[in-house]
Amino acid sequence: MTAHIIDGKSIALSVRQGLEPRVEALKTKGIIPGLTVVVVGDDPASAIYVRNKERASQKLGMNGTVLRLPESTTQQELLDIVRKLNADGSIHGILVQLPLPAHIDGQEILRAIDPDKDVDGFHAMNAGRLLNGERGFVACTPKGVMRLLETTGVDLNGKNAVVVGRSNIVGKPMALLLLQKNCTVTIAHSRTKNLADVTRAADILVVAVGRAGMITGDMVKPGAIVMDVGINRVDGKVMGDVDFESAKEVASYITPVPGGVGAMTIAMLMENTVEAAENYAGK
Ligand code: NDP
120 is catalytic: yes
Catalytic residue among 97, 116, 241, 243: 97
207 CA from centroid of ligand 1 (Å): 8
166, 167, 238: which to mutate for ligand 1, most atoms within 8 A of CB? 167
Q: Mean per-residue pLDDT for 219-234?
A: 97
Per-residue model confidence (pLDDT) at position 48: 84
Per-residue model confidence (pLDDT) at position 74: 98
Per-residue model confidence (pLDDT) at position 44: 82
Confidence class for position 6, pLDDT limits 50, 70, 90: very high
Over 80: is that where the pLDDT of 13 sits?
yes
18 CA from centroid of ligand 1 (Å): 30
Over 80: is that where the pLDDT of 12 sits?
yes
229 CA from centroid of ligand 1 (Å): 8
Q: Residue 193: helix, strand or coil by DSSP?
A: coil
Query: Cα 197 from chain centroid?
Result: 27
Q: Characterize the bridge pairing of strands 225-228 and 253-254.
A: parallel
Domain 30-117 carries which CATH code? 3.40.50.10860
Of ligand 1's atoms, which has the minimum distance to the CA of residue 98?
26
- Burial class for 119, CB neighbours closer than 10 Å (0-12, 13-18, 19+): buried
165 CA from centroid of ligand 1 (Å): 5
**Residues within 6 Å of ligand 1 by CB:** 141, 164-167, 169-171, 188-192, 195, 208-211, 229-232, 261-262, 265
Q: Minimum mean pLDDT among 36-45, 78-87, 262-271: which range?
A: 36-45
Catalytic residue among 116, 117, 118, 120: 120
Confidence class for position 283, pLDDT limits 50, 70, 90: confident
Over 90: is that where the pLDDT of 45 sits?
no
Catalytic residue among 53, 159, 172, 248: 53
Burial 23-59, CB ≥16 within 10 A → b, else e: beebeeeebebbbbbbbbbebeebeebbeebbebbee
Query: Cα 10 from chain centroid?
Result: 17
pLDDT tens sequence across 138-183 = 999 999 999 999 999 999 999 999 999 999 999 999 999 999 999 9
Q: State the Cα–Cα distance between residues 93 and 118, nearest whole angstrom.
A: 6
17 is catalytic: no
Q: Mean per-residue pLDDT for 85-93?
A: 98
pLDDT tens sequence across 198-214 = 999 999 999 999 999 99
Q: Which CATH number fits domain 140-261: 3.40.50.720, 3.40.50.740, 3.40.1440.10, 3.20.20.70?
A: 3.40.50.720
pTM higher than the cut 0.95? yes
Residues with Cβ within 8 Å of residue 66, at least 6 apart in sequence: 36, 37, 38, 39, 50, 53, 54
Tell me the one-letter amino acid at 93.
Answer: G
193 is catalytic: no
Over 90: is that where the pLDDT of 77 sits?
yes
Intervals of CATH 3.40.50.720 along the chain: 140-261
Instruction: Judge whether 56 and 272 are in contact, CB under 8 Å.
Output: no
